[in-house]
Amino acid sequence: MPDLYAVIGNPISHSKSPLIHAEFSKQTDQNMRYEAILAPPDGFSVAVEAFRKFGGRGMNVTIPFKLEACKISTRLTERAAAAQAVNTLALDNDEILGENTDGIGLVRDIVSNLDFIITGKRVLLMGAGGAASGALLPLLEHQPKMLTIANRTKQKAIELQQRFAEYNFVIPADYADLAGHEFDIVINATSASLNGKLPSLPPCIFAAESLAYDMMYGSGPTPFLQFARQQGAVHLSDGIGMLVEQAAESFLLWRGLRPETGPVIAMLRSET
């Protein structure tokens, strides 16, 4: 019998996780099956319990259940505790381990795939929701020169900064505060691109040779990446690499093996 894994969310039919994990298991010769589970908005914990009773070994968790996944975990990794959100569950009979691989996936994509150094750089993280919160600790561990969190609702950026107060180079902001400042790495962790929108960024925030990174992916450049290109950002990336890298981190947690991400990123890119 293959070991059972799944991604759970609502909606879920668009998820690329089953395809990614099928490629990883083929590549590493694992006897496993990975499916997609649509849970009703109020039925997350029941669906997880049913999957566990059925012998499920692990789950990826996506919108809108990452906070609930954190609450039902009986143990959290350091990254999940810092993010206060869980995108990966490892299940066994008496424990639900909650992990967050989104942020480490982002950082691996920036550092290993895009060859960008975070250490000593001026980083702007846009957004203060689940994705931004998951990205913070892995970004901070690379010791940027400063990390500005900008959010439409500034209070949420302030709350996020306060959670990481021991890092004294984190600055909360709203978009107007950014005028007159330049950044080497600008990461869009808002959901604005999902609706074809762009946060109200002032001009001239991209330093020479800067990287503009949108966590969102899809066909064609997002409004943020279009803006970045017009503003002179040289290096542009969507979130496909992050998606595959966060999946690889989940796979490593479950199977103890790190799959090769390059061929899977290339395969997904050729499909968009």
State the residues that interact with ligand NDP by CB under 6 A. 102, 127-132, 151-153, 156, 189-194, 197, 199, 215-217, 239, 242-243, 246
Q: Which of 66, 145, 154, 156 is catalytic?
A: 66
CB of 119 to ligand NDP, least distance (A): 23
CB of 216 to ligand NDP, least distance (A): 4
Smaller CB distance to ligand NDP: residue 128 or 140?
Answer: 128
CB of 113 to ligand NDP, least distance (A): 13
Going across the sheet that includes 122-126, the strands are: 170-173, 146-150, 122-126, 183-188, 206-214, 235-237
Q: Nearest residue by C-beta to ligand NDP?
A: 129
**What is d(CA 262, CA 272) in angstroms, rounded to the nearest whole number?**
16
Smaller CB distance to ligand NDP: residue 77 or 151?
Answer: 151
CB of 108 to ligand NDP, least distance (A): 11
Residue 269 CB neighbours (<10 A): 13
> In a 10 Å sphere around its CB, with 0-12 CB exposed, 13-18 middle and 19+ buried, how is residue 203 labelled?
exposed
What tokens appear for 251 in the block?
């796979």
What tokens appear for 81 in the block?
């505790």
The DSSP element (H or E) to which 122 belongs, if any, is strand 122-126
Smaller CB distance to ligand NDP: residue 52 or 236?
Answer: 236
**What is d(CA 251, CA 34) in angstroms, rounded to the nearest whole number?**
11
Residue 154 catalytic?
A: no
- Checking DSSP bridges between strand 95-99 and strand 88-92, what pairing results, if any? antiparallel
User: Active-site positions?
Assistant: 66
